[in-house]
Amino acid sequence: MIENKLINLKKKGFLKLDNVDLDVLNLLGKKIKLAFDRALKLVNEQDLTNEKLNHFIKRVDRGSLDLNCLSDSENLSLDLIKNLEIIEIAKEYWNSKKIKYSRSHSKFRHVDPLNNKQTKYSPLHYDGTFLNHNNSINICIPFTGYGGDYPGLQIFPESKNFFKKKIIQKTQRFSFVNYFVNSFNPIVEKGSYICFNQNVYHRRTIQNCKKTRVNLEFRIFPEYTNDKNLDLDFI
Ligand SMILES: [Fe+2]
């Protein structure tokens, strides 16, 4: 089973998996939704006194809260992550006995398709640019749905072909180019998640959806990664 998924990850750079622990997911999801509600209220009042929520309040377009925005949010996230299949797959993928995670580059995300501050933030990119091109996997776990009625992602499978990469970059300015490259808009139900590496081009999609998406974005790295900017620890 794991073999096929590993082959897919090596080939395309991304995977959709399932079997998230729903008890932990619901518990953490409830707390995080309340934290975003509180943060949105503080945005209206332009109140920056709650430091743990300022990552969101200062840049609503980005829509994110820190992993430790609540006293137990980091620990609950680790509870959620450590039993996921992707952790075992990642060990094989990187030939790494242990896996690290980044505190500074793991976030909770809130995307309201009706909030025009958030709809403008959807540039095409790959995460390697701000991760110093370290090997990494972004694990995206929705507390709501993801894609379909909810904001999602358009994902372009990894390509080592220089010209293919150039064509993908053109989709930002010329939407018709989308017809010439393979891309996916995964619909991820609660209990499932998507993972992709730092070379995969992607962008936020908000067309035809009305519901607010809330999710965890958790970044993992092989044990040999040493980068102070990432604030790394073992899982
Ligand atoms: Fe990204």
E-strand stretches of 127-176: 137-142, 152-156
Report CA(140)–ligand 1 centroid distance (Å).
10
Report CA(72)–ligand 1 centroid distance (Å).
25
* Residues 107-123: tens digit of each pLDDT: 999 999 988 877 776 78
Report CA(138)–ligand 1 centroid distance (Å).
8
User: What is the model's pTM?
Assistant: 0.92
Report CA(129)–ligand 1 centroid distance (Å).
10
Across 22-51, average pLDDT: 93
Report CA(81)–ligand 1 centroid distance (Å).
19
pLDDT band at 176; cut points 50, 70, 90: low
* CB-based contacts of 89, cutoff 8 Å, min separation 6: 2, 5, 6, 9, 15
For the chain, list the domains and their CATH numbers: 2-224 (2.60.120.620)
* Residues 151-172: tens digit of each pLDDT: 999 999 887 777 777 766 776 6
* Residues 195-227: tens digit of each pLDDT: 999 999 998 888 888 999 999 999 999 999 999
